[in-house]
Amino acid sequence: MRQLTTPREEQRLLTAVDSAEETDLLAEVVELRARNEQLGRALASRAVIDQARGMLMALAPCSSERAWDLLVDVSQHCNIKLRDVTVALVATTKDEALPEPIQRELRRGLRRLHQEDRR
Written as one string, the DSSP assignment of the chain is: ---SS-HHHHHHHHHH--SHHHHHHHHHHHHHHHHHHHHHHHHHHHHHHHHHHHHHHHHTT--HHHHHHHHHHHHHHHT--HHHHHHHHHHGGGTPPPPHHHHHHHHHHHHHHHHHHH-
Domain membership of residue 102 (yes or no) is yes
Residue 109 has pLDDT above 70, yes or no: yes
Higher pLDDT, 1 or 101: 101
| Residue 47, in any domain of the structure | yes
Q: Is 53 inside any structural domain?
A: yes
| Lowest pLDDT segment from 12-16, 86-90, 108-112 | 12-16
| Residue 70, in any domain of the structure | yes
Mean pLDDT within 54-79: 96
pLDDT on residue 27: 81
Q: Is residue 2 one of the residues assigned to a domain?
A: no
Give percent of the chain with pLDDT exceeding 90: 55
Is the per-residue pLDDT at 111 higher than 90? yes
Q: Is residue 1 part of a domain?
A: no
pLDDT of residue 1: 45
Query: Which domain does 92 fall in, by range?
Result: 7-118
